[in-house]
Amino acid sequence: MTHKNGFSTTLSVCGGVLFGAGIVSGYLLNGYVKKNKPLNGDKILKRIKKAFLEEGPIEGSWIELTKVPMQKFALKTKVYYGGISRIEENQLVQYEFFADAYTGTVLDIYRL
């Protein structure tokens, strides 16, 4: 009878270890998937527009929702690119930007 009890205890311990390993693996996999999932381009554009609106009204905006590869020095990522236009000193001025598709960080913005 002791033999059965020892086997049952070993089986319970192994089951607990496997269950714990499954939970940890699931947590780590979830973090990896979220990290490597691109953000919604419209949300990125909305955030950039909000920053421009702090300086004044804008006339128009756009974003290309197809991610394109970009390398700047050692940084390699995929980006969304888009533009903002507004009136400055009675003239229409356009800006173009590149935003990291995974973090939403603006990597470059320049006046055309």
Residue 110 · residue 95 · CB < 8 Å: yes
User: For residues 83 and 24, which has the higher predicted lDDT (pLDDT)?
Assistant: 83
Rounded to the nearest 5°, which phi and psi values hold at 61? -155, 160
Helical H segments across the chain, by residue range: 2-35, 41-53
Per-residue pLDDT, 36: 74
Per-residue pLDDT, 72: 82
For 98-102, the CB contacts below 8 A with 24+ separation are 98/70, 99/44, 99/48, 101/38, 101/39, 101/41, 101/67, 101/77, 102/35, 102/36, 102/37, 102/38, 102/39, 102/77, 102/78
Tell me how far apart the alpha carbons of residues 59 and 86 are, in angstroms, rounded to a whole number.
5
Is the pLDDT reported for residue 32 higher than 70? no
Structure tokens of 2? 């002791």
Global pTM reads 0.67
The mean pLDDT value for 38-42 works out to 94
CA triplet 18, 21, 27: central angle to 5 degrees? 145
Per-residue pLDDT, 75: 81
User: For residues 12 and 47, which has the higher predicted lDDT (pLDDT)?
Assistant: 47
The mean pLDDT value for 65-82 works out to 92
Of all residues in the chain, what percent carry a pLDDT higher than 70?
69
Tell me how far apart the alpha carbons of residues 21 and 27 are, in angstroms, rounded to a whole number.
10
